[in-house]
């Protein structure tokens, strides 16, 4: 009899892990459906993606969808409550709130992903270096990261924006830079979790250089953590952009922008003009929730 | 012809102490099925399992991974995970049907009647609660006041031979060594004087000498408490030592059952036969005998095959075996076997030819790797290695043996350049000194020294394909490309018995044995001179282990490689090694040809180590018991580091004051002991009366 | 143990020093001329220059930094450009106000978050869990001004249940002050709840799946006792660190909330100072915030060591 020692079935090490080993074996012996498909099956993902898609469409095609010109002032119909003509009412300058909400999606949807990508790329590189090299480098850079984290990022962000201006590009760069230490911290932790694994020793024994080890060996294994971190930061980016524009660092008027509009109109609350602030606020809330639902589903799929 | 083993009464119960029989068997499992629900489908993990344990009896459940043995234990205490359930059969403990019990009756059962001890003692204890409190809790559940409970807890700790129970009571679990923690867990388990004690791989994570102590403890306590024991393990030798009767589990079914001694001496099921042949026995050597293997692979769980579950892998299988499911056959002497051909089982044809084509010339080469004055002290004062001198000769297999704290892994890492030794240490290859850091070593040197790690899950990058894992050393160290690369790749795949279809797969899609083959192929890729094998089979099943060992032996011959073989399994070391080094607390205690070191006379530590390992071939009558725990490497004892535990310590005080040098007692055989070899010969021969000197 | 503490303190001081560097140099790149800011746009150039020299604006960078640090260590935070008086009393008053608000938020959110997280863990995978988890996550990233506005609209304007300004007015009693602080505290609670609940949940789940939880059950302990005595102890340890690190977010949230509710806390102070280009006030305020955060992290570390026996002794072998 030939020595057929291929054993695809048994995979648990000695000293049995118990019933989980058998369940694991069951899982391993069938082809796992791709992660995309798993994602698409989840209702939370679908709802979140749906909302996000809606706003993306608004951002791109806003001017075509909006019923009124968001910049058109009609002082005679200023501050009217929601009605058949103006579903979301009008603001103090008579502009249609619905149109402003729809078009206002653009800025936030341009800045947010770009800033997050910037932060993720830089943060990953930094986190990889900190985790891999360790030692003094990690200690010193770690202190700097902690110091930056000690200052609330809203404050740092607006300090920088005050200093260098609030153009779209600047806001992207500032938020990206502020995210870098946050993401670096998570990536570093993920790298540290890999460090004791022997494949890294094997790579060293092949004479691989540090760049190769970081990017070709470690990085593929921590991608799930990075992806989750990316989606989480996306949510925080929406938060940051909205807050910055609320504090006055958004696009200059009369460009429609959710945060700026709220800042401009919220004194109207005392007069009872609730729709001018509520609808942009709900828009922000819905976008944030959408991103969070996506984050949640991505996390669930990647951890199973 | 057929017997229902659920109601067989073992004659072995007569040998156990205490009251018997009046309450019936302690445990009766009858036609039990356990099913898991995975992705909406039911999968059988255990099928038609029946066995019983009498009062005071010790029953062993043996099986490899995937056999379902741990599932059986959890089913007994009704602690299966949420997707598991006992789908058929009955379980009765002390006459009570556990499956139909209500919650409070179940709690009562767990508190008073059944206790469980499992593999990692450190994790079984709550890290934030003092040890004493956790043990006292058991008594409190039984109704004692907190003072009474604390006192009883301390008494229990004394019973498990912990010398300073008061101090241990106040400790936290992470402050205890593995052996002490397991004793504490055993104390906790026996506190309620249960009728049934379930032990699931209780000593697998412990060192050999510590394991021996714990096993001896279980034997003693079993008699004192008159507890029935269910002992679950993959280690047949341990089961042979500890159990009166044994049941062999394969793929969820009980295939053979009977008194332990007889089942192991004269197995009557092809699986048991094959399993026993996989284990290297005394007298087997890699150059004379190949280990037998079990061909084929485990059926996927939830298999619904008709016929015998072992048939696909059985050389005796015939149509009858594949068509109908064999019942249990009475094989006499209260033994049963689930095989139509149980009579011919002992004559099961071998899967791997026993004899080996002419192999020659091991260990006759000159020194290839030389280590002089090697010391390594870690920050914090932990001295992992102290002044080690060692040489590895071309073509040989040097076995490195030691328990935790011996420094064997550190030694391997220093050799490879993964850890830098202390200044003054010299490591040479082909006579030229090596840089202490692998990153500074030239490609030629990296090519010459490679390693196979213990755990392939950790050693292989799970995101890389098999092809890229094996090719990388070829391109990086071997400088191969194009056709040459492809050819070498093919050559490697064939020699480790992988197939082309494995190349695009990732490690997560492979079994343990296959993964280790990939690791071996990778190590041999660029034709190294020396391969360090660091516990290469410890994470594998017994049947898979045999195949890997055969592979290593073949490759050594084919590629003319030199091995540094590190293992805690003395049987494997004896089978594979030409020479052996015994390490204790970072010092070389003994070096010599394998047979000489095994047969003796040898260092007292070697002696104790060998006597601690249970053997399938029968018990040594007298075990050398070592006192105390392995000392901490941060604070090694003065003089001879072994003196704190040495049963042969000289009364002159020289052992405490002076560290003995390595004496060359016989050509090539060095022993670090103040006792001259002639005297050791006399002492050790006297102690090992019937059999020859200590060997597993 | 002592060495470990010393090391920890040393690292903390290093971090604080870097914070001071960042704050100082960030302040330097902010545009604007202090002399001009104080005297106004119509003052004569020579007067502005004289004031600048008097303020020491033209000294070399290093000298300015050192004198700033020196002043700080003596409790002198400089002079406000806007108010022309010492910055220190403003900071102190504002800090106290913010602390009141922050403490209220913490007192609400910590128990709520922990209970939410533990419940989510006990019913992991089921509806209760998903609801708590997603709600927590969503609330955490809805900007404070958004939730603040919604709250104002709902409770303050429509239902008229709670006051919409945070300041109760001079001499108001404690209860009245408390009522005024509820609405502003809630956006802060929202932001923190999700994160705390999530950590508590993760810690509890890990604890529930552990070997020692299994041991406790197999000993015959009832589930409730097992959870109370064995699981919670271990699951809440990681939550403590998180709570401390969340002080950072809390303080950031203070800026927005205090502005929205017109509350004289430190966030509001900083914001106004930035707008008025009162750099001394700005730098002092931001630095104080940094110090508070670093101290909070240290406190959390110490608390963790005190509660986790493994760290206590492990620290000795570090």
- Distance between CA atoms of residues B578 and B669, nearest Å: 12
Q: Do A205 and B541 touch (CB under 8 A)?
A: no
pLDDT tens profile B585-631: 999 999 999 988 888 788 999 988 888 888 776 655 567 777 777 88
Strand partners, B43: B36
Q: Do C220 and B141 touch (CB under 8 A)?
A: yes
B482 and B490 Cβ atoms separated by less than 8 Å: no
Give the pLDDT confidence score for residue A7 in this predicted structure: 32
B59 and B263 Cβ atoms separated by less than 8 Å: no
Give the pLDDT confidence score for residue B638 in this predicted structure: 86
What value does the mean pLDDT take over residues A121-140? 93
Strand partners, B336: B257, B330
Six token digits for residue A288:
């944030």
Give the pLDDT confidence score for residue B364 in this predicted structure: 63
Looking at the complex, does the CB of residue B311 fall below 8 Å from at least one CB of chain A? no
pLDDT tens profile B340-369: 888 888 888 888 887 776 555 555 678 899
Give the pLDDT confidence score for residue B357 in this predicted structure: 62
Q: What band does B13 get if pLDDT is binned at 50, 70 and 90?
A: very low
B505 and B466 Cβ atoms separated by less than 8 Å: yes
Closest chain A CA to residue C251: A152
**Element of type H or E holding B591:** strand B587-593
What value does the mean pLDDT take over residues B236-253? 92
pLDDT of B476 over the 50 cut: yes
Q: DSSP letters along B110-177, please? A: IIIIEEEE-S-HHHHS-TTS-HHHHHHHHHHHTT--HHHHHHHHHHHHHHTT-S-HHHHHTS-GGGS-
Q: Do C220 and B380 touch (CB under 8 A)?
A: no
pLDDT of B422 over the 50 cut: yes
Six token digits for residue A125:
């590189």
| Other beta carbons less than 10 A from residue B498's beta carbon | 21
Topology at the third CATH level for domain A106-255: MetI-like fold (1.10.3720)
Q: Do C233 and B79 touch (CB under 8 A)?
A: no
Residue B168: exposure state from Cβ atoms within 10 A (0-12, 13-18, ≥19): buried
Q: Do B124 and C212 touch (CB under 8 A)?
A: yes
Q: How far is C231 from chain B (nearest CA, A)?
A: 9
For residue A266, what is the DSSP state?
G
Q: What band does B694 get if pLDDT is binned at 50, 70 and 90?
A: very low
Q: How far is B105 from chain C (nearest CA, A)?
A: 10
pLDDT tens profile A257-283: 898 888 888 777 777 787 888 888 889
- Distance between CA atoms of residues C231 and C233, nearest Å: 6
Q: How far is B691 from chain A (nearest CA, A)?
A: 31
User: How many Cβ contacts (< 8 angstroms) between chains A and B?
Assistant: 186
pLDDT tens profile B123-146: 899 988 999 999 999 999 888 898
- Distance between CA atoms of residues B31 and A205, nearest Å: 53
Q: Do B463 and A220 touch (CB under 8 A)?
A: yes
**Looking at chain A from residue 14 to 53, which residues have their Cβ under 8 Å from any Cβ of chain C?**
44
pLDDT tens profile B56-77: 899 999 998 888 888 999 999 9
Residues in A closer than 8 angstroms to B73, CB to CB, are 18
Q: What band does A54 get if pLDDT is binned at 50, 70 and 90?
A: very high
Weakest mean pLDDT among A15-19, A130-134, B279-283: A15-19
Weakest mean pLDDT among A134-148, B281-295, B493-507, C90-104: B281-295
Topology at the third CATH level for domain B367-577: Rossmann fold (3.40.50)
How confident is the prediction for chain B on average, in pLDDT? 86
- Distance between CA atoms of residues B380 and B492, nearest Å: 43
Strands B382-393 and B367-378, sheet pairing: antiparallel
Q: What band does A18 get if pLDDT is binned at 50, 70 and 90?
A: very low
Starting from the edge strand earliest in sequence, which strands make up the sheet with B41-53, in order? B41-53, B27-38, B84-93, B96-97
B376 and B407 Cβ atoms separated by less than 8 Å: yes
In this complex, which of A163, A243, A278 lies closest to C150 when CB atoms are compared?
A278
Q: Do A9 and B295 touch (CB under 8 A)?
A: no
- Distance between CA atoms of residues B137 and B141, nearest Å: 6
Say which residue, A18 or B581, is predicted with more confidence.
B581
- Distance between CA atoms of residues C145 and A250, nearest Å: 15
Give the pLDDT confidence score for residue B464 in this predicted structure: 95
C-alpha pair distances (Å), A45 with each of A109, A200, A238, A303: 19, 35, 18, 15
Q: Do A155 and C144 touch (CB under 8 A)?
A: no
pLDDT tens profile A166-177: 778 888 888 898
In this complex, which of C19, C143, C249 lies closest to A242 when CB atoms are compared?
C143
Tell which of A2, A3, A217 to mutate to test the B interface (max B CBs under 10 Å).
A3
Give the pLDDT confidence score for residue B23 in this predicted structure: 61
For chain A, the structural domain boundaries read 32-104+275-304, 106-255
So what's the ipTM on this one?
A: 0.82
The parts of chain C modelled with pLDDT lower than 50 are 314-318
- Distance between CA atoms of residues B485 and B18, nearest Å: 69
Say which residue, A12 or B465, is predicted with more confidence.
B465
Q: What band does B580 get if pLDDT is binned at 50, 70 and 90?
A: very high
- Among B162, B164, B165, B140, CA closest to B154: B165
Alpha carbon of residue A200 to chain centroid:
30
**Looking at chain B from residue 485 to 544, which residues have their Cβ under 8 Å from any Cβ of chain A?**
497, 499, 508-514, 522, 538-541, 544
C-alpha pair distances (Å), B141 with each of B107, B154, B173, B183: 10, 16, 21, 21
What value does the mean pLDDT take over residues B444-449? 92
| Chains in touch with A (≥3 Cβ pairs < 8 A) | B, C
The correct CATH number of B26-264 out of 3.10.100.10, 3.40.50.300, 3.30.70.270, 3.40.190.10 is 3.40.50.300
Alpha helices in C142-275 (DSSP H): 144-151, 174-208, 211-218, 223-226, 232-235, 237-261, 266-275
C119 and C208 Cβ atoms separated by less than 8 Å: no
In this complex, which of A10, A19, A203 lies closest to B36 when CB atoms are compared?
A19
- Distance between CA atoms of residues A174 and A158, nearest Å: 9
For residue B571, give the 3-state DSSP assignment.
helix
First-last CA distance in chain B: 37
- Among B613, B603, B616, B671, CA closest to B283: B616
Give the pLDDT confidence score for residue C164 in this predicted structure: 64
Give the list of residues 6+ apart from residue A94 with CB closer than 8 angstroms, or none. Answer: A73, A74, A75, A76, A77, A78
For residue B432, give the 3-state DSSP assignment.
strand
Six token digits for residue B420:
């830098």
Residues in C closer than 8 angstroms to B192, CB to CB, are 220
Helix, strand, coil: what percent of chain B each, to 5?
A: 35, 20, 40
Q: What band does A226 get if pLDDT is binned at 50, 70 and 90?
A: very high
Q: DSSP letters along A91-155, please? A: -TT--BHHHHHHHTHHHHHHHHHHHHHHHHHHHHHHHHHHHHH-HHHHHHHHHHHHHHHHS-HHH
Task: Report percent pLDDT > 90 for chain B.
Answer: 42
pLDDT tens profile A79-127: 888 888 888 888 888 888 898 899 989 989 999 999 999 999 999 999 9
**Looking at chain B from residue 46 to 105, which residues have their Cβ under 8 Å from any Cβ of chain A?**
64-71, 73-74, 80-81, 83-84
A79 and A91 Cβ atoms separated by less than 8 Å: yes
Is the N-terminal amide bond of B606 cis, ω within 30° of 0? no
Weakest mean pLDDT among A237-241, B247-251, B428-432, C155-159: C155-159
- Distance between CA atoms of residues B197 and B190, nearest Å: 8
For chain B, the structural domain boundaries read 26-264, 266-358, 367-577, 600-687
In this complex, which of A9, A18, A220 lies closest to B511 when CB atoms are compared?
A9
- Distance between CA atoms of residues B270 and B316, nearest Å: 8
Residues in B closer than 8 angstroms to C234, CB to CB, are 126-128
Give the pLDDT confidence score for residue C73 in this predicted structure: 80
């Amino acid at each position: 009899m030939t020595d057929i020692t291929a054993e695809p079935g048994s995979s648990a090490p000695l000293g049995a892990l118990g019933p989980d080993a058998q369940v694991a074996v069951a899982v391993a012996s069938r082809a796992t459906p791709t992660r995309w498909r798993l994602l698409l099956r989840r209702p939370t993902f679908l709802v979140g993606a749906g909302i996000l898609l809606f706003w993306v469409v608004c951002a791109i095609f806003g001017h075509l969808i909006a019923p009124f010109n968001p910049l058109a002032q009609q002082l005679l119909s200023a501050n009217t409550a929601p009605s058949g003509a103006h579903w979301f009412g009008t603001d103090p300058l008579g502009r249609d709130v619905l149109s402003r909400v729809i078009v206002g999606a653009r800025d936030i949807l341009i800045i947010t992903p770009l800033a997050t990508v910037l932060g993720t790329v830089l943060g990953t590189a930094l986190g990889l270096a900190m985790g891999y090299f360790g030692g003094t480098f990690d200690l010193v850079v770690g202190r700097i990261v902690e110091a930056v984290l000690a200052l609330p990022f809203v404050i740092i962000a607006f300090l920088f924006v005050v200093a260098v201006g609030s153009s779209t590009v600047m806001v992207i760069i500032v938020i990206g830079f502020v995210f870098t230490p946050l993401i670096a911290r998570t990536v570093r932790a993920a790298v540290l979790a890999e460090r004791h694994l022997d494949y890294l020793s094997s790579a060293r024994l092949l004479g691989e250089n540090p760049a190769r080890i970081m990017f070709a060996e470690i990085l593929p294994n921590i991608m799930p953590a990075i992806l989750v971190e990316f989606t989480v930061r996306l949510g925080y980016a929406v938060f940051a952009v909205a807050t910055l524009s609320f504090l006055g660092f958004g696009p200059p008027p009369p460009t429609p922008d959710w945060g700026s509009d709220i800042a401009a109109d919220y004194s109207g609350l005392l007069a009872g003009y609730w729709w001018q602030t509520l609808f942009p606020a709900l828009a922000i809330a819905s976008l944030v929730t959408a991103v969070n639902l996506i984050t949640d589903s991505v996390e669930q799929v990647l951890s199973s | 012809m057929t017997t229902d083993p659920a109601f067989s009464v073992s004659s072995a119960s007569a040998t156990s102490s205490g009251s018997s029989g009046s309450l019936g068997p302690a445990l009766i499992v009858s036609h039990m099925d356990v099913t898991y629900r995975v992705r909406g489908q039911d999968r059988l993990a255990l099928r038609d399992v029946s066995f019983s344990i009498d009062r005071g009896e010790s029953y062993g459940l043996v099986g490899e991974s995937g056999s379902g043995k741990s599932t059986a234990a959890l089913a007994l205490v009704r602690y299966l995970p949420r997707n598991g359930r006992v789908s058929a059969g009955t379980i009765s403990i002390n006459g009570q049907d556990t499956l139909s019990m209500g919650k409070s009756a179940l709690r009562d059962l767990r508190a008073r009647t059944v206790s469980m001890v499992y593999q990692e003692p450190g994790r079984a204890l709550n890290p934030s609660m003092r040890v004493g409190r956790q043990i006292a809790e058991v008594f409190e559940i039984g109704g004692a006041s907190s003072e009474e409970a604390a006192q009883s807890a301390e008494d229990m700790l004394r019973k498990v031979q912990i010398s300073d129970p008061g101090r241990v009571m106040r400790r936290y679990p992470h402050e205890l060594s593995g052996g002490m923690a397991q004793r504490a867990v055993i104390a906790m388990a026996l506190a309620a004087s249960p009728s049934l004690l379930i032990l699931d791989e209780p000593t697998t994570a412990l060192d050999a000498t510590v394991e021996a102590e714990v096993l001896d403890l279980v034997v003693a306590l079993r008699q004192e408490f008159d507890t029935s024991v269910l002992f679950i393990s993959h280690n047949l030798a341990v089961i042979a030592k500890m159990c009166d009767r044994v049941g062999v589990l394969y793929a969820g079914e009980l295939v053979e059952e009977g008194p332990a001694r007889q089942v192991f001496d004269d197995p009557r099921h092809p699986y048991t036969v094959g399993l026993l042949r996989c284990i290297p026995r005394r007298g087997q050597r890699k150059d004379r005998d190949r280990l037998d293997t079990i061909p084929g692979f485990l059926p996927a769980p939830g298999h619904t095959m008709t016929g015998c579950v072992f048939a696909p892998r059985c050389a005796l299988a015939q149509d009858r075996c594949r068509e109908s499911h064999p019942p249990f056959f009475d094989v006499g002497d209260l033994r049963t076997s689930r095989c139509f051909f149980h009579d011919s089982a002992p004559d099961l044809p071998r899967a791997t030819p026993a004899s080996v084509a002419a192999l020659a010339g091991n260990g006759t080469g000159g020194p290839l790797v030389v280590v002089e004055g090697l010391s390594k002290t870690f920050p914090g004062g932990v001295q992992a290695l102290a002044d080690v001198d060692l040489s590895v000769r071309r073509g040989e297999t040097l076995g490195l043996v030691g328990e935790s704290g011996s420094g064997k892994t550190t030694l391997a890492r220093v050799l490879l350049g993964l850890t830098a030794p202390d200044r003054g240490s010299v490591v040479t290859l082909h006579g030229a000194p090596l840089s202490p850091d692998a990153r500074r070593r030239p490609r030629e040197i990296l090519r010459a020294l490679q390693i196979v790690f213990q755990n392939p899950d950790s050693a292989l990058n799970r995101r890389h394909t098999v092809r890229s894992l094996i090719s990388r050393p070829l391109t990086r160290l071997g400088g191969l490309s194009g056709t040459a690369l492809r050819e070498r790749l093919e050559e490697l795949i064939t020699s480790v018995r992988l197939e082309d279809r494995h190349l695009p797969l990732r490690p997560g899609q492979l079994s343990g044995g296959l993964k280790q083959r990939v690791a071996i192929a990778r190590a041999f890729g660029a034709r190294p001179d020396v391969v360090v094998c660091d516990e290469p089979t410890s994470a594998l099943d017994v049947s898979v282990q045999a195949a890997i060992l055969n592979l290593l032996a073949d490759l050594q011959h084919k590629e003319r490689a030199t091995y540094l073989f590190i293992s805690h399994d003395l049987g494997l070391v004896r089978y594979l090694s030409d020479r052996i080094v015994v390490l204790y607390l970072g010092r070389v205690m003994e070096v010599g040809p394998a047979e000489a070191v095994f047969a003796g006379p040898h260092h007292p530590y070697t002696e104790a180590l060998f006597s601690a390992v249970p053997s399938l071939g029968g018990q040594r009558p007298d075990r050398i018991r070592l006192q105390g725990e392995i000392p901490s490497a941060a604070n090694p004892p003065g003089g001879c580091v072994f003196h704190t535990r040495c049963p042969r310590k000289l009364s002159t005080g020289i052992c405490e004051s002076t560290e003995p040098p390595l004496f060359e007692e016989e050509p090539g055989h060095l022993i670090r002991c103040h006792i001259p070899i002639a005297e050791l010969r006399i002492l050790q021969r006297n102690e090992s009366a019937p059999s020859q000197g200590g060997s597993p | 143990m002592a060495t470990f503490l010393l090391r920890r303190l040393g690292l903390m001081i290093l971090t604080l020093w870097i914070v001071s560097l960042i704050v100082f140099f960030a302040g330097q790149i902010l545009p604007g001329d202090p002399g001009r800011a104080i005297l106004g746009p119509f003052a004569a150039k020579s007067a502005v220059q004289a004031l600048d020299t008097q303020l020491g604006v033209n000294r070399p960078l290093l000298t300015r930094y050192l004198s700033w640090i020196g002043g700080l260590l003596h409790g002198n935070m400089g002079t406000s450009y806007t108010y022309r008086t010492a910055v220190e009393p403003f900071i102190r008053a504002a800090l106290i106000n913010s602390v009141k608000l922050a403490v209220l938020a913490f007192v609400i959110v910590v128990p709520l978050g922990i209970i939410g997280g533990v419940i989510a863990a006990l019913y992991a995978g089921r509806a209760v869990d998903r609801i708590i988890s997603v709600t927590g996550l969503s609330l955490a990233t809805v900007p404070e001004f958004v939730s603040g506005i919604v709250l104002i609209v709902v409770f303050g304007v429509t239902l008229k249940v709670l006051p919409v300004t945070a300041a109760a007015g001079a001499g108001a009693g404690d209860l009245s002050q408390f009522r005024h602080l509820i609405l502003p505290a809630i956006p802060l609670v929202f932001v923190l709840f999700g994160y705390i609940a999530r950590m508590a949940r993760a810690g509890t789940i890990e604890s529930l799946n552990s070997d020692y939880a299994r041991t406790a059950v197999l000993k015959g302990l009832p589930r409730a006792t097992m959870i109370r005595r064995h699981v919670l102890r271990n699951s809440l340890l990681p939550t403590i660190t998180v709570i401390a690190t969340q002080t950072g977010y809390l303080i950031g949230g203070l800026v927005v909330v205090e502005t929205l509710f017109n509350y004289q806390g430190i966030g509001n102070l900083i914001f106004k100072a930035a707008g008025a280009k009162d750099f001394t006030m700005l730098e002092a305020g931001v630095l104080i915030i940094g110090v508070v955060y670093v101290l909070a992290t240290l406190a959390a570390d110490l608390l963790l060591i005190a509660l986790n026996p493994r760290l206590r002794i492990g620290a000795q072998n570090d």
